[in-house]
Amino acid sequence: MSVSLQSVEAARQRIHADIYLSPARHSAGLSEMTGQQVFLKLDNLQRTGAFKERGALNKILTLTPAERGRGVIAASAGNHAQAVAYHAGRRGLRARIVMPLMTPLVKVAATSGYGADVVLHGANYDEACAEAIRQSEADGLTFLHPFDDDEVIAGQGTIGLELLEQIPDLEAVVVPIGGGGLISGVACALKERHPGIRVIGVQTERLPSMLRAQEAGHPVTIPAEATIADGIAVRRAGEKTVPLVARYVDELLTVDEEEIASAILVLLEREKTLAEGAGAAALAALLHRKTSLDGRRTAVLVCGGNIDVTLLSRIIERGLVRDGRRTRVRVHLTDRPGALHQLTKIIADLRANIVQTSHDRAYYGVNLGDTVIDFTLETRGAHHIREIGEALTEAGYRHERIE
């Protein structure tokens, strides 16, 4: 079999009763910010928190009785793992999942919670995948590839069919890329129905495996890198997906870690939508004007929401700092009764909130009889930070902002 519009349509008939028809809602706020008419396809609302259910379920439903009887095994950084575990478990299939050692705990716990046996192995997806293939051969398990499989690709392509029905006069779709299974299926469905729709793929700048494959004309293995977009952290694009991307995708581009983090924060704050790094990559490209689009009716795939809460907290804090809503100021003052009260009164009068303080009498060139205090402040933006600095200077305090 090869991937075609007919195989995507067949996949939809096969899986539609068990897959949530995720909304593709218009965002007035993001449309203003990007200059597009933006529609968010929220596949982070699937039962396991990501689009991977579509391909995993389609593959499971096409297995032979013998393949099902042997049990299944998969390798995944998290979302494919949960999808396989959930849908295999619902059908009584034994499932084993090999996950990289650094997989976020939330994904490991969820996969185990769906009934799969979880094996942690390797520093990245590629090492986990090699181990899963080894175990599948050693133990006779049926291996379910997360992206380089025709039935998996066709299952992911059902998103494309839904978009055509949900968004009248759709002109463009922006899709995150890891190994290429999602964009291959979606692009095939869209282009075979409406060739004029532009399909744009977005990878993390740290692991542009599909971009390098298109440049070389075949899959290439690139060096491993750490990224907050762990769901698309793939070192080598698929043998099946590379030609599909070459045929159907109009543009490939990359976004960096800060751009992805910014998109996560925008989705959370403006859209009340939780996305993981991979799930926010497509929006990051629009927010930072990376695409060649201009004013088009554009669907943006928010394809996963399984983010580690510790990482999310760091992203939120860094976002507040970047936006000028949190800052740190180091102030030198005389170490005497009442000195701290006078200083904090200036801050309070300017309606800044003190989140944390730290005294030091031994470092930073402090004179005997003086002290240094580091303040972490909640502020209202860059202009507010400037007001605080001017007030401290006017009051005679030596101070500096800590970046």
**pLDDT tens, position by position, 250-301:** 999 999 999 999 999 999 999 999 999 999 999 999 999 999 888 899 999 9
* Separation CA 143–CA 146 (nearest Å): 10
pLDDT score of 105 more than 90: no
The tokens of 293 are what? Answer: 């689009």
Percent of the chain with pLDDT over 70: 97
Q: Reduced to 3 states, what is the DSSP secondary structure of residue 83?
A: helix
pTM of the model: 0.88
Phi, psi of 179 (to 5 degrees): -85, -15
pLDDT interval class at 365 (50, 70, 90)? low
β-pairing, 95-99 with 117-120?
parallel
- Which amino acid would we find at residue 345? K
pLDDT at position 368 is 66
Q: What domains can be seen in the chain, in order of their start residue? A: 5-51+154-319 (3.40.50.1100), 53-150 (3.40.50.1100), 324-402 (3.30.70.260)
pLDDT at position 367 is 66
pLDDT score of 336 more than 90: no
- Non-local (6+) Cβ contacts of 308 within 8 A are 104, 105, 106, 107
Percent of the chain with pLDDT over 90: 78
Token pair 């218009």 is found at 26
Poorest-pLDDT segment among 10-24, 37-51, 241-255, 363-377: 363-377
pLDDT at position 369 is 67
Phi, psi of 322 (to 5 degrees): -65, -35
β-pairing, 37-42 with 24-26?
antiparallel
pLDDT interval class at 337 (50, 70, 90)? confident
Mean pLDDT, the chain, as a whole number? 93
pLDDT tens figures, 376-397: 999 999 899 999 999 999 999 8
pLDDT tens figures, 41-74: 999 999 999 999 999 999 999 999 999 999 999 9
End-to-end Cα separation, the chain, in angstroms: 56
Average of per-residue pLDDT across 78-101: 94
The tokens of 305 are what? Answer: 């929401």
Q: H or E segment at 42?
A: strand 37-42
User: Within 13 A of 398's CA, how many CA atoms are on the CB side?
Assistant: 10
